[in-house]
Amino acid sequence: MAMAMQPVFFLYMLVPITVCDDVFKLVNSSVQLDIQKKNETVSEDIDWTFKPKTLIARYNGNPPSRVYGSYKERVEFNEETYSLTLKNLQKSDSGIYEAEVAGEIKEVVAKYQLHVLDPVEKPVLTASLQSNDTCNVTLTCEAQNLSVTSHCYNDNCDMMEKKTSGHTLLSLSLYVSNNFIICNHSNPVSWKNTTIEIKHVKHLCPPEGVSMHTYCLV
């Protein structure tokens, strides 16, 4: 049995494994992409590409390196570390970036999935009185087609955090912290929030005989 397992283990060790790291950046910011796998023979050609087929930069071990096409004005290649810096990022720059060494065999030494995102919008937090008798207040947190709802009774807002997320890396949450009700809108590179002091929730309850009303905070 031990003899049968040896060839299988040997073949497994020969399988190359390339991890694609996710990187998140804001529009108009910069990103530095570093070599992930050290290669002692980078005197051979190294190419940075934007998949599927766009060549960004090439270096053959002898300065100067070359930057191609529209990247010339906003790309820097470091000839000592082989890192690539891309400036003034736009959403169209989102995609897969690879660094490949071309010697006797080609080897991928860096691979990134870049996500260029807009900053999030400020959320809207609405407190609505539902019942004059019990002072039941509904809290609604909304932003970019996402919505989270919770409830307070008088000034009792010890609610558990409620959270929802969208397919575009957006997240919306509603929770209590240090006597504040917080509506937080975020993505991996930015966040904005709207808050209400808990003591103001009780103030929504009108005197008997006064019609219910709604406050909207932005």
pTM of the model: 0.76
Tell me if residue 141 falls in helix, strand or coil: strand
Q: Provide the pLDDT for residue 24.
A: 97
132-144 residue pLDDT tens: 666 788 899 999 8
CA distance linking residue 23 with residue 48, whole number of Å? 16
CA distance linking residue 68 with residue 206, whole number of Å? 68
Which among 143, 147, 96 has a CA at the least distance from the CA of 119? 143
Asked if the model's pLDDT at residue 10 lies above 50, the reply is no
113-163 residue pLDDT tens: 999 999 999 999 998 887 666 678 889 999 988 999 998 876 677 777 888
37-76 residue pLDDT tens: 765 544 568 999 998 889 999 998 888 899 999 999 999 9
Residue with the bigger pLDDT between 147 and 208: it is 147
Which among 84, 74, 72, 85 has a CA at the least distance from the CA of 109? 84
Q: Provide the pLDDT for residue 40.
A: 54
At 217, phi and psi to the nearest 5? Answer: -110, 135
